[in-house]
């Protein structure tokens, strides 16, 4: 799914656009015991309650593609015969009405998942989206036929906060008295959508998996639900890319080289955003090799980088925002940290003076220390 398609589905989870009629839930204790299950008709809930349910589930479609939202691909063999995919298809085709399939899904999730000794709530909802037909220019056609119907379901896992005592106003007595807040469902930690909405239609070869914390995707839940190996997490991609750079470039992984790579990546991302491309910007090992060449590295170093990059990442393209943060430029030594706006990183220079290595920061525009304007001293004759 790209960003436009994701946004299109996110808009479904509003009260005035929703076709969701029921919410299915499973409340799980920290000891993996099922406390309760429920099947709730939204038509019997108040508007406020309905909006709360839809709002929670909508958050499962938030975050950044490739970071919080991870594409889970299924092989053809899995689609044809795996138990995991068969269960997902049964849930979709029955609009979640198959009691046995729902219980099996809940069972797999409960058996595999723990949220740091916290109770949690699993929510399920099914939606049928009449996809408007769009012309080649991307505009919705008012008189040009109808699109397909996208049938899908969304699942989210919300940690349940323990009850707390608060002082609350009691109207009858006119006093503030102690009262319990009750157990409340928090922001979703995990979730998934199946099938994916690719090219504005159903793609049963993919699911979209959500993790609020990119570094905590809960591999055990992915194994239980999908039986497939997920891609590296965003933190893993960043750490692996850093290792590839350091190990393959060795002494050529210099201040000037990294400064140049950072600037080129930042420039590419700016062009990508200006073009309003809905997919995240991804780069191949060869793309990164070209950037290193433009940074002045020799052919043998570039080849060493590309070889190691392919060994670590395979043929997968690299999500730019996962491998390097181009929104900032921080220089850190054991004693000091320098933070520079990325567009001004060129102002920093490296020098060796009297046998010591220095990072030079120009101060022509004035200097402040804790908000106090200071003089840098007079030039020596």
d(CA 372, CA 104): 65
96: left (phi over 0), alpha (psi -120 to 50) or beta: left
Closest CA to 226 of 69, 95, 109, 98: 109
Tens-place pLDDT, residues 198-213:
999 999 999 999 999 9
- 212, 189 in Cβ contact below 8 A? yes
Is the per-residue pLDDT at 190 higher than 70?
yes
How large is the angle between the packed helices 299-313 and 285-294, nearest 10 degrees? 150
The structure tokens listed for 319 are 């999500």
Task: Please report the pLDDT score of residue 146 as a whole number.
Answer: 55
d(CA 248, CA 140): 49
The structure tokens listed for 101 are 């399939």
**Residue 83 backbone phi and psi in degrees, to 5:** -65, -35
Tens-place pLDDT, residues 39-69:
999 999 999 999 999 999 999 999 999 999 9
d(CA 356, CA 351): 8
d(CA 345, CA 305): 24
Q: Rg of the chain's alpha carbons, rounded to an integer? A: 26
Question: Is 319 in a helix, a strand, or coil?
Answer: strand
Closest CA to 96 of 65, 127, 56, 120: 127
Residues 6+ away with beta carbon under 8 Å from 33: none
The structure tokens listed for 177 are 């008295």
Tens-place pLDDT, residues 306-362:
999 999 998 888 999 999 999 999 999 998 998 999 999 988 989 999 999 999 988
Rounded to the nearest angstrom, the gap between the alpha carbon of residue 101 and the centroid of all alpha carbons in its chain is 28
Under the banding of pLDDT at 50, 70 and 90, the label for residue 16 is confident
Under the banding of pLDDT at 50, 70 and 90, the label for residue 28 is very high
Residues 6+ away with beta carbon under 8 Å from 347: 340, 361, 362
d(CA 212, CA 223): 18
Is the per-residue pLDDT at 143 higher than 50?
no
- 19, 42 in Cβ contact below 8 A? no
Q: Give the angle 350-347-241 at the CA atoms, nearest 5°.
A: 70
Closest CA to 285 of 304, 309, 301, 302: 309
Tens-place pLDDT, residues 208-264:
999 999 999 999 999 999 998 877 889 999 999 999 999 999 999 999 999 999 999
The structure tokens listed for 309 are 């990059």
List the domain boundaries for the chain.
3-230, 235-329, 330-374
**Would you give the end-to-end CA distance of the chain in angstroms?**
65
d(CA 328, CA 342): 5
């Amino acid at each position: 799914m790209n960003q436009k398609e994701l946004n299109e589905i996110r808009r479904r989870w509003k009260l005035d656009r929703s076709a969701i009629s029921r919410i299915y839930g499973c409340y799980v204790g920290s000891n993996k015991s099922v406390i309760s299950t429920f099947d709730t008709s939204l038509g019997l809930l108040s508007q406020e309650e309905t909006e709360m349910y839809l709002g929670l589930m909508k958050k499962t479609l938030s975050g950044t593609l490739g970071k919080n939202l991870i594409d889970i691909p299924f092989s053809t063999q899995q689609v044809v015969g795996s138990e995991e995919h068969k269960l997902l298809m049964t849930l979709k085709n029955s609009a979640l009405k198959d009691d046995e399939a729902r219980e099996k899904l809940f069972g797999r999730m409960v058996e595999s998942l723990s949220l740091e000794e916290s109770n949690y709530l699993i929510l399920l909802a099914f939606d049928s989206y009449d996809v408007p037909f769009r012309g080649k220019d991307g505009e919705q056609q008012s008189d040009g036929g109808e699109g397909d119907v996208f049938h899908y379901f969304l699942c989210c896992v919300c940690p349940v906060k323990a009850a707390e005592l608060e002082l609350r106003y009691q109207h009858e007595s006119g006093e503030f008295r102690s009262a319990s807040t009750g157990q409340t469902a928090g922001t979703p930690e995990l979730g998934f959508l199946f099938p994916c909405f690719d090219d504005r239609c159903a793609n049963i070869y993919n699911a979209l998996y959500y993790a609020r914390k990119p570094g905590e995707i809960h591999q055990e839940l992915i194994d239980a639900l999908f039986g497939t190996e997920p891609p590296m997490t965003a933190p893993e991609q960043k750490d692996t890319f850093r290792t590839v750079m350091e190990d393959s470039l060795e002494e050529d992984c210099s201040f000037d080289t990294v400064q140049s790579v950072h600037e080129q990546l930042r420039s590419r991302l700016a062009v990508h955003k200006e073009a309003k491309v809905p997919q995240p910007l991804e780069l191949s090992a060869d793309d990164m090799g070209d950037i290193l060449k433009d940074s002045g590295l020799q052919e043998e170093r570039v080849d060493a980088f590309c070889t190691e990059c392919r060994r670590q990442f395979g043929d997968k393209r690299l999500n730019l925002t996962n491998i390097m943060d181009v929104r900032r430029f921080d220089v850190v030594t054991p004693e000091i940290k320098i933070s520079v706006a990325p567009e001004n990183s060129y102002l920093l220079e490296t020098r060796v003076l009297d046998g010591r290595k220095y990072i030079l920061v120009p101060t022509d525009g004035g200097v402040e220390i804790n908000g106090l304007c200071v003089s840098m001293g007079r030039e020596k004759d």
